[in-house]
């Protein structure tokens, strides 16, 4: 199993807390049933944090005009909205919510060139709330493709206190390659052209790089 390189510090911190706790439980609680039961809890978190920050092997799907999901999770919003930051017009918003059990690595949704990137400090509201898109800490990234622009946001949630994004304006990016990671529960908002053929519905479970979100007009 491969662990994301930007998460080594978080994993080390969890282990430095859990290992001494396990030792204290085993050393100072004389009742074996209680000490071993309590030790299971920090040991579980040590294993879970490795599992949580795993980097799975994913494959590229679809033709060049196909937009794939940036993240694993559940589709929670599909709506026609006005996007004022980059598109400055109406578009289709598709949002994917990631819970604690989803892979939190993010993937480029289409081939193209990074035309815009901005980091926004903000609050840490629950990521599934509609206002989180505007008020929470997030990054904004636009990829200019030959079929149109794909704009997306990586949103922090209540427990997500760090967003990693590899976007640099002018860089060429390849669909299905890693573009960053959000630590703990969070959300991805994708903004697509009005004429995009949306292939998902609310409630669908999607996988980053392997689930088709939409097809852009050729």
What are the sequence ranges of the domains in the chain? 5-52, 66-215
Q: What is the pLDDT of residues 60-80, one digit of tens each?
A: 999 999 999 999 999 999 999
**CB half-sphere exposure, 36, CA atoms < 13 A:** 3
- List Cβ neighbours of 92 (8 Å cut-off, separation of 6 or more): 78, 79, 80, 81, 191, 192, 193, 194, 196, 198, 214
pLDDT top residue among 93 and 46: 93
Q: What is the pLDDT of residues 15-63, one digit of tens each?
A: 899 999 998 988 888 888 888 889 999 898 888 887 777 778 889 999 9
Which of 133, 170, 167, 169 is closest to 153 using CA atoms?
133
pTM here? 0.81
Mean pLDDT of 90-99: 94
pLDDT at residue 55, rounded to an integer: 79
pLDDT at residue 185, rounded to an integer: 63
Evaluate if residue 175 carries a pLDDT over 90.
yes
Fold adopted by 66-215: Glucose Permease (Domain IIA) (2.70.70)
pLDDT at residue 194, rounded to an integer: 95
pLDDT at residue 49, rounded to an integer: 80
Enumerate the active-site residues. Answer: 186
Secondary structure (3-state) at 24 = helix
Cα–Cα distance measured from residue 167 to residue 11, given in angstroms and rounded to the nearest whole number: 24
What is the percent of the chain where pLDDT is above 90? Answer: 54
Cα–Cα distance measured from residue 108 to residue 178, given in angstroms and rounded to the nearest whole number: 6
């Amino acid at each position: 199993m491969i662990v994301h390189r930007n998460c080594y510090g978080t994993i080390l911190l969890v282990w430095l807390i859990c290992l001494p706790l396990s030792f204290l439980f085993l050393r100072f609680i004389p009742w074996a049933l209680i000490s071993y039961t309590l030790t299971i809890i920090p040991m579980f978190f040590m294993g879970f944090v490795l599992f949580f920050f795993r980097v799975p092997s994913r494959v590229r799907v679809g033709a060049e005009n196909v937009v794939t999901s940036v993240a694993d999770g559940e589709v929670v919003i599909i709506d026609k909205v006005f996007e004022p930051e980059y598109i400055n017009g109406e578009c289709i918003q598709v949002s994917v919510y990631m819970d604690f059990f989803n892979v939190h690595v993010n993937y480029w949704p289409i081939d193209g060139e990074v035309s815009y990137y901005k980091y926004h400090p903000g609050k840490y509201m629950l990521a599934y709330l509609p206002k989180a898109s505007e008020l929470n800490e997030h990054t904004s990234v636009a990829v200019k493709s030959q079929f149109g622009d794909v704009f997306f946001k990586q949103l922090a949630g209540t427990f997500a206190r760090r967003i990693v994004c590899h976007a640099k304006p002018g860089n060429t990016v390849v669909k299905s390659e890693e573009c960053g990671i959000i630590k703990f529960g969070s959300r991805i908002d994708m903004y697509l052209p009005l004429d995009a053929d949306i292939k998902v519905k609310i409630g669908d479970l999607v996988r980053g790089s392997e689930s088709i979100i939409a097809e852009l007009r050729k």
